[in-house]
């Protein structure tokens, strides 16, 4: 790769005003580029490209602090390939001195100063070096350096300009680093919830299936074998399985990936299935349903409508006294269908009932009455809204609560 040559000595140097204007334009270009780009390495490379248009240099790089190392994240010029990814451990060096003291360093003669550049090509070709810190809130977070194959290539004005760019980079670097950290945290959280929900589902399915087999075959087994458990084994396995499903929805919702199908659904079938499952889980409660005779088909996902309904029924059972009635009603209403779960429990806490659908929110009184993770109602809202509907909570008189949701009815134009 040919080494860039310095401008002709005959070329006139820019005036102070021209240099000030160029610096302001450069800072504006860098901040504008950073505002539209959250990828850290892209921001750093863009800054070097724009700096090269104002300050003549052979090569340049930007290194950021990573623990006890300085890592080159962006580079330009003929030494780019050997520079990218280099790590310099914390210790006595010119680069770490710049970062730790927050002071710029300009070396007009690298060889006379006893300074050796890292990299086989750069170590023999570089003659001048200029480095400035990148600091955030008084702490050095990185280093911006430019070099030249000509001795004495950088002036005091160059040093001031490069230092200005270093200060300009501090904000975008900090913002991009935080964004990258949030992305990594989200990926780890998604991976964790995915693994947990998957690992829960497999043994639960096995246990539940084997309990069913034992129940069906017990009469043919030898008398010394004890009778299998009653409904309680099923009742205990279902809530754990439900938590697994809720965790999957939570992971997808927080990652902004909750995209649900709009299939035609018959609500009566889903309601009957949910009531059958929950009445087996909560035998100490009475369950009834009232479905309008001409209830329209709605748009949504069968599995997730059932998940919402089961979460609401389970929630009603947890906070209602033994022997109380839990009703499900479904009615034709406002171009859709409304499903309500009505209980005779302790009612809603004072204040805005929409808080109940916030992630991890639990009313102190409710927390003393029953255990919970504070994600079930949040999941209900995410699923219903993901299917184009809405969800609510309202008090009942004289006591109890109503939790309901509305889904859009299937129209003729929705049928292909």
Please state, in angstroms and rounded to a whole number, the distance separating the CA atoms of residues 276 and 288.
10
Q: Is residue 9 part of a domain?
A: no
Q: Can you give the pLDDT at residue 9?
A: 41
Q: Can you give the pLDDT at residue 175?
A: 74
Q: Can you give the pLDDT at residue 121?
A: 85
pLDDT in tens, 218-251: 566 655 555 555 444 444 445 555 666 776 676 6
Q: How confident is the model at residue 7 (pLDDT cuts 50, 70, 90)?
A: very low
Residue 332 has pLDDT above 90, yes or no: yes
Choose among 100, 116, 105: nearest CA to 65: 100
pLDDT in tens, 377-407: 888 998 999 899 999 999 998 889 999 999 9
pLDDT in tens, 295-312: 999 999 999 999 999 999
Comparing 256 with 295, the larger pLDDT belongs to 295
Give the lowest-confidence range in 73-82, 196-205, 298-307, 331-340: 196-205
Q: Can you give the pLDDT at residue 242?
A: 65
Q: Is residue 10 part of a domain?
A: no
Q: Are residues 305 and 362 in the same domain?
A: yes
Asked whether the beta carbons of 406 and 390 are under 8 A apart, the reply is yes
The SS3 call for residue 110 is: coil
At which of 254, 273, 292 does a domain end?
Answer: 254
Q: Is residue 277 part of a domain?
A: yes
Q: Is residue 7 part of a domain?
A: no
Mean pLDDT, residues 17-32 taken together = 65
At which of 254, 277, 304 does a domain end?
Answer: 254
Comparing 332 with 31, the larger pLDDT belongs to 332
Mean pLDDT, residues 113-126 taken together = 83
Neighbouring residues of 276: CB distance < 8 A, sequence distance ≥ 6: none
Residue 43 has pLDDT above 60, yes or no: yes
Mean pLDDT, residues 73-83 taken together = 89
The total number of structural domains that make up the chain: 3
Q: What's the whole-number average pLDDT of the chain?
A: 79
**For the whole model, what pTM was predicted?**
0.49
Q: Are residues 42 and 177 in the same domain?
A: yes
Q: How confident is the model at residue 1 (pLDDT cuts 50, 70, 90)?
A: very low
* Most trustworthy range by pLDDT among 27-36, 50-59, 70-79, 243-252: 70-79
Q: Are residues 88 and 209 in the same domain?
A: no
Residue 347 has pLDDT above 50, yes or no: yes
Asked whether the beta carbons of 83 and 61 are under 8 A apart, the reply is yes
Range of the domain at 37: 16-182
Residue 172 has pLDDT above 60, yes or no: yes
Residue 341 has pLDDT above 90, yes or no: yes
Q: Are residues 171 and 235 in the same domain?
A: no
Q: Is residue 1 part of a domain?
A: no
Q: Can you give the pLDDT at residue 254?
A: 61
Residue 288 has pLDDT above 90, yes or no: yes
Q: Are residues 366 and 390 in the same domain?
A: yes
With 0-12 / 13-18 / 19 or more C-beta atoms within 10 angstroms meaning exposed / middle / buried, residue 165 is buried
Please state, in angstroms and rounded to a whole number, the distance separating the CA atoms of residues 52 and 56.
6
Q: How confident is the model at residue 256 (pLDDT cuts 50, 70, 90)?
A: low
At which of 128, 154, 182 does a domain end?
Answer: 182
Please state, in angstroms and rounded to a whole number, the distance separating the CA atoms of residues 366 and 15.
73
Give the H or E element holding residue 61: strand 59-66
Give the lowest-confidence range in 24-28, 168-172, 203-207, 348-352: 203-207
Q: Are residues 162 and 194 in the same domain?
A: no
Q: How confident is the model at residue 198 (pLDDT cuts 50, 70, 90)?
A: low
Q: Can you give the pLDDT at residue 206?
A: 61
Q: Can you give the pLDDT at residue 231?
A: 43
Q: Is residue 317 part of a domain?
A: yes
pLDDT in tens, 154-170: 999 889 888 888 888 88
Q: Are residues 342 and 381 in the same domain?
A: yes
Choose among 265, 351, 358: nearest CA to 304: 265
User: How many other C-beta atoms lie within 10 A of the C-beta of residue 389?
Assistant: 22
Q: How confident is the model at residue 215 (pLDDT cuts 50, 70, 90)?
A: low
Q: Are residues 64 and 129 in the same domain?
A: yes
Choose among 341, 340, 311: nearest CA to 325: 341
């Amino acid at each position: 790769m040919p080494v860039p040559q310095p401008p002709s000595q005959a070329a006139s140097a820019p005036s102070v005003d021209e240099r000030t204007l160029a610096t302001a334009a450069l800072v504006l270009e860098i901040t504008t580029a950073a505002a539209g780009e959250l990828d850290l390495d892209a921001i750093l490379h863009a800054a070097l490209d724009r700096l090269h248009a104002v300050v003549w240099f052979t090569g340049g790089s930007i290194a950021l602090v990573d623990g006890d190392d300085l890592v080159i994240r962006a580079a330009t010029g003929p030494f780019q390939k050997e520079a990218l990814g280099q790590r310099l451990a914390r210790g006595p060096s010119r680069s770490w001195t710049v970062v730790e003291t927050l002071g710029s360093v300009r070396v007009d003669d690298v060889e006379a100063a006893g300074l050796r550049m890292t990299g086989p090509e750069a170590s023999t070709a570089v003659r001048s070096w200029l480095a400035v810190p990148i600091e955030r809130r008084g702490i050095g977070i990185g280093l911006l350096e430019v070099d030249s194959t000509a001795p004495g290539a950088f002036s005091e004005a160059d040093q001031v300009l490069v230092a200005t760019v270093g200060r300009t980079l501090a904000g975008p670097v900090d913002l991009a680093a935080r964004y990258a950290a949030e992305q990594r945290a989200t990926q780890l959280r998604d991976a964790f919830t995915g693994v947990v929900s998957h690992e829960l589902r497999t043994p639960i399915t096995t246990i539940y299936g084997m309990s069913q087999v034992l129940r069906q075959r017990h009469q043919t087994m030898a008398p010394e074998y004890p009778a299998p458990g009653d409904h309680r084994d099923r009742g205990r396995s279902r809530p754990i399985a439900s938590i697994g499903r809720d965790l999957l929805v939570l992971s997808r919702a927080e990652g902004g990936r909750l995209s649900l199908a709009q299939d035609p659904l018959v609500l009566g079938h889903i309601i009957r299935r949910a009531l059958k499952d929950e009445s087996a889980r909560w035998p100490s409660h009475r369950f009834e349903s009232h479905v309008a005779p001409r209830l329209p088909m709605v748009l949504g996902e069968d599995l997730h409508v059932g998940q919402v309904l089961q979460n609401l029924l389970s929630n009603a059972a947890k906070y209602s006294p033994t022997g109380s009635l839990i009703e499900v009603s479904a009615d034709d209403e406002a171009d859709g269908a409304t499903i309500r779960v009505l209980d005779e429990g302790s009612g809603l806490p004072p204040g805005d009932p929409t808080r109940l659908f916030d992630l991890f929110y639990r009313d102190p009184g409710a927390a003393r009455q029953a255990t919970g993770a504070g994600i079930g109602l949040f999941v209900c809202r995410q699923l219903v809204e993901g299917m184009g509907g809405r969800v609510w909570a309202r008090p009942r008189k004289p006591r109890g609560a109503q939790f309901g949701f509305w889904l859009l009815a299937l129209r003729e134009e929705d049928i292909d």
